[in-house]
Every structure is written in structure tokens, then in C-alpha cells.
Structure 1
């Protein structure tokens, strides 16, 4: 895993921010909400760390929900009463469907619900009620779930951008290895399949080219294969003429990717509009769904988390543990993002 979790440091910085709140949370009701919501969020996450998966999604989700209220309070782009959140703004319904196929819907784009209001603030898509998104699609957006597929269908996972190996040529071409391309794409080996796959990723759909097998410059993709399946390939983008500095390349890369745990990832689009989810909202949708199962379908939830009976149990345990590890830093980064 490419990411480093630092929850203790993140909570420490969030606690320190309460003495001098950022953005629009500097005074009045917004300041009081910012401080109280962060205190509740931290306590919820602390409680989640000492309970088992039977109730953990409830504490994690409501901790995240309260952190969302702090984010809204600090946001410079939310004026008047727009920072006040009302309801969840997202719904999950299983209706007897398999775990991977649980349908998630959002309220309309005009809703004051937390998920919708924060998604609009962060430039993240909502999809309404007519075209639900399956849990599996959202699950695969999370980088921490790379090793835990929910089905044997073709996956569109978060793809790691190896920024350490990035380089910019004198011809103003940015090149970077794109990692964790799934086996169904690599094993096919054709340009058509790779091009169709990359088109699902807004940041990769804009690429200029990728490595080809020699000696033909228009040959099939030249993947580097992984021993456990899948692989990676070096992808290139054209930069404006004269932009040959690594910093310019880094800025372009960051406009194409999302940050998680100090690493950058290309994320797939889950809606026809072709937008990347903000990773905070991807986490939100997955944890919300798990919390609704635990709260309203306790018997079904008990079956899902039975490690002796259900192959989903360990992936669920894993994503809940990693939520506690990684979400504090993501909350901190999002506070900084909206209050700048």
C-alpha cells in the first residue's frame, strides 16, 4: 500500500485549529459549530476504535458526518445560511440485493443534505435518485480496497500515480507510471481495451500517449507486469510549450488526480457526467451504506461480518479499520482545502 496513515497527528492539528478556526469559522455560530462538531467527530472515532464491526460503522459514519459540519462551517464559499446542513442527502437500499449490488442514491443537486451540499462544495458529483450507483463501484474508488474486490466482475479501481518516477521532457511532455491496472486489461493487451479502460478515468482520458511495445511506435501497450496479476504502464500528457520544470509537471498531475494519504490517484468516474469523486465523498458513501445496514438490518449485518461464514467479513473489517486510520488526515486536508 502506497499510503501512510497518521490519524494521531491529524487529530492533533484539528484540535489545535479550534483555538483559531480557519476560513469563515472564525466567529459566531460557525465558530461554535466548528469546535463542537470536531469534538464530537474525534470522540466518535475514538469510540469506533475500541468496538467491533457490529457497531463500528455507526460511530465512524456519525463521526464523519459531524466532521462534515465542521468543514461546512469553515468553507469560504458557503455564505449566509448555506453552511448549515440538513439531513443525510444520500440513501442506500438493499432490497434483497447482493452486497456488491446495493444501490446508493443521492438527493437532487439543490438539496441541503450533507452529502449533496459538501459534494457541491468540493466539486464532486451527485447522481440523484433515477440512476443509482452500486456499492461495488464506490467501493473500488477507495484506494484502500485494491486488494478486496466485492465480485469477479471487471474492476475500475483507484490507480496509483507514481509521482516519484514522474519526469518532464525538454519537449514539454509529462510522463508518469500509472499503477494497479487490473488483470483483465493487461491480459487482453490490446490498445482498444486499454483506451476504453482509460476513458473511464477523467484524468487519464486526457492523456497524449502511453508506452508501446517496440519496435513499432503505434504498437500494442507495453505493460510492466506484476507477479500477482495486473500491471502498470507509463502514460504521457502534453504540457504548454516551454513548460519543462518538474514543478509544472507536478501541478498538472495534481489537477488530474486526487490525494489520499500523501499519494495521488486517478479515480474512475461513476456518473455519465464524467467527474471524479472527491475521496472524502467516496468514503462518505461507502461508510454511510455500511452504517445503514448495521443500524436498520442488524441480522443481515451480523451475517455479513461473520468471518466463519461470509467472504465479505474480512474486507468489511479492513475498510472500517482503514477508515479510522485514514479519514482524520482526509478531514484535515479538506478543512484546509475549503478554508483557503
Structure 2
């Protein structure tokens, strides 16, 4: 699995952008906000890196929240004063529930809350009517693959890569889909796979996963530690194919994969669509929702938070510690990539 989590390099990218801010952040109050928000974000992340889990989620979340202001300041899609952010745009008040079952809600689409507005520019959904459980959003983060909160069946990111695209003599996008859960691989049936993929619309629309007949069973490559991967094929959209004999070029196949899977620091992931959402959450917004919840819990329920991070008393302590450590390295890269995304 390829990932590039060089936080120092990402901060260098972000700092270098401030002398010539991208897209709509290049003039006036948007330029001033872009620069000031990134400075605050970097300082908050630096502070979070040197404190313990008792306070680090508060600093990390507010660092991400300030970076969100730089993202909307740069976004081409936001005109006039529509880039300004007010309130959090996301709530979580059920801290009396078990840690995995804490509920997360968002404000209505079209409102000015930070979560809603940044979600809009990143083509990521909100879910004001139906709350999501913390565990369900937690499981959307690639670094949490090996850190479950409970023993329930999970819907986790399925990894793929542009580098693994097959450039064969055919008109398909063919690529490995990785991290298929052990329960699906062990079942080994077409029905089990199809039922699982209903939560992954982009994968469910595949054309085939076998070259030996429509009725063939999934030919998984099994992992030693459980689970596996499967080579899957998608039809290239009609009208695409500028290569030899009208075949899609490697660049065209990779572009189609980018349209199907979300980017995450150099890798690509198929993410599940939760609840009544129309599409999958952008990884940055999944981080946002999780860190918001942890920060509010730490800030307003410090005694309860203290129990969750007590390694002698809570099964969630180590997963929380690993998440907070990875946030410091992963988020600067995702923030820099998000600014590029909304500026292009």
C-alpha cells in the first residue's frame, strides 16, 4: 500500500503557497484569511504534537478547523462572501452513550457552518436527518483498519492504486481491490461479495472480476493475516479511447479510477456510502467528524475522556492514541491535497 505522509514536506508546500496563494485566495480578505488560517493551523498542530491525549484532540481539531478556512478561501466554487465560515456545522451531544455509539449530526446543506461548507467544496455529503455513530465514521479512516472499536462487522476503505492499473490489450479498467474483509473471503461466494458491495456503489458497478466465465467464483488473493484482494474490471466510459486501435490509454484508465475512488496521500480508496447519503465521505471530512467528536468529548466531558484514554481501564485507549499520533502526520498532507483539489 503506497502512502506518502511526509508532514514536514506538506507544511513546506503550504507555507510556500502563501507568497502566491492559489485560485480565489490570491487577493483581498481571502488572501489574508488564507495566510493567517494556515499559520494558526500549523502552530496548533505543532502544539498538539508535544502534548498528551488529554488535550491533543482539542488542538488537532482546531488546527484542522482553521485549515478549513484556508480551503474555502481558495475554492474556485465559492464566490462573493460565500467562502466565510460560521459555527462548527457539526454536533455531537450523546456523550453518555458507549464510546463507539456516540452520535454525530451535521447542519443542513447550504448553511455556513465549517463542516457543511468545506464538505460542499470537496463534494462530500452531510447527514443532518440521520445521525452517524462514531464507530461507523471511525472505520472510514484508512489508518484505523487495524484498530477497530468493537467486534462488529465493519465497512472499511478498500485500497487500490493507480500504479496497479493493468495496461492489457482490452478495453477495461482492471485493478486490484484490496482489504476485502476476511468474512467475505471465507464465504467465497458471488452472493456474499455482491451483498457486501452494496455499501460500495463505485465497486458494485464493476463489469466483472473473472476471465473464466460469468459464473466463476471470486478468485481472491488471500492474506496471511486474514482477508484478501480481488482483481476487478470496469468498462471504460463510452467515447474514451484515444490509444492504439481505439483502446483506452493508461492515463485514461487511471483517470477513470480517480473518478471512482477517493484519493488519500498518494493512494486510492473505495469508501462505503453510509446511511442515507448519496455518496461517500471525503477522507478529510471523515477525519473532521472524528476529531470534532473527540475534541468535544475532551473539552466538555473531561472526566469521561480521561476514562477513555486510561490504558488500564479502557479497550479504546490504544486505538485513540494511534489515531491522534497519525493525525499529526496525515492531516497536513490531506490539507495540502484538498487545497490543490479545490483550486484546480
Shorter-chain TM-score: what band?
over 0.9
Alignment match of 1:235 (pick from 229, 232, 237): 232
Asked if 1:321 is matched to 2:318, the reply is no
Secondary structure of 2:23 counterpart: coil
What is the CA distance between 1:244 and its match in structure 2? Answer: 2.8
Instruction: Write out the 4+ residue segments of structure 1 that deviate beyond 6 Å after TM superposition.
Output: none
What is the CA distance between 1:150 and its match in structure 2? Answer: 1.1
**Which whole-Å CA distance do the structure 1 matches of 2:154 and 2:277 have between them?**
19
Q: Cα deviations across residues 46-70 of structure 1 (Å, max 9, x unaligned)?
A: 0000000000000000000000001
Asked if 1:258 is matched to 2:262, the reply is yes
What is the CA distance between 1:278 and its match in structure 2? Answer: 1.0
* Contact 2:127–2:277 under 8 Å retained in 1: no
* Contact 1:89–1:112 under 8 Å retained in 2: yes
- Return closer, same or farther for 1:16/1:95 CA change in 2, 3 Å cut-off: closer
What is the CA distance between 1:227 and its match in structure 2? Answer: 1.0
RMSD: 1.4
Equivalent position of 1:290 in the other structure? 294
Equivalent position of 1:193 in the other structure? 192
**Which whole-Å CA distance do the structure 2 matches of 1:244 and 1:25 have between them?**
37
Equivalent position of 2:55 in the other structure? 55
Q: Cα deviations across residues 217-271 of structure 1 (Å, max 9, x unaligned)?
A: 4122111111111111111001146333111110010101111121111111113
What is the CA distance between 1:283 and its match in structure 2? Answer: 0.7
**Which whole-Å CA distance do the structure 2 matches of 1:284 and 1:257 have between them?**
19
Moved more, 306-315 or 44-53: 306-315
Equivalent position of 1:90 in the other structure? 90
What is the CA distance between 1:95 and its match in structure 2? Answer: 4.3
Q: Cα deviations across residues 183-224 of structure 1 (Å, max 9, x unaligned)?
A: 121111121111121121132122111137x6x541221111
Moved more, 247-256 or 95-104: 95-104
Secondary structure of 2:73 counterpart: helix
Equivalent position of 2:136 in the other structure? 137
- The alignment's TM-score, normalised by the length of structure 2, stands at 0.95
**Which whole-Å CA distance do the structure 2 matches of 1:316 and 1:2 have between them?**
23
Secondary structure of 2:311 counterpart: coil
**Which whole-Å CA distance do the structure 2 matches of 1:274 and 1:150 have between them?**
26
* Contact 1:45–1:63 under 8 Å retained in 2: yes
**Which whole-Å CA distance do the structure 2 matches of 1:82 and 1:292 have between them?**
27
- The alignment's TM-score, normalised by the length of structure 1, stands at 0.96
Aligned residues: 337
- Return closer, same or farther for 1:90/1:251 CA change in 2, 3 Å cut-off: same
Structure 2, unaligned runs of 5 or more? none
* Contact 2:45–2:63 under 8 Å retained in 1: yes
**Which whole-Å CA distance do the structure 2 matches of 1:149 and 1:184 have between them?**
15
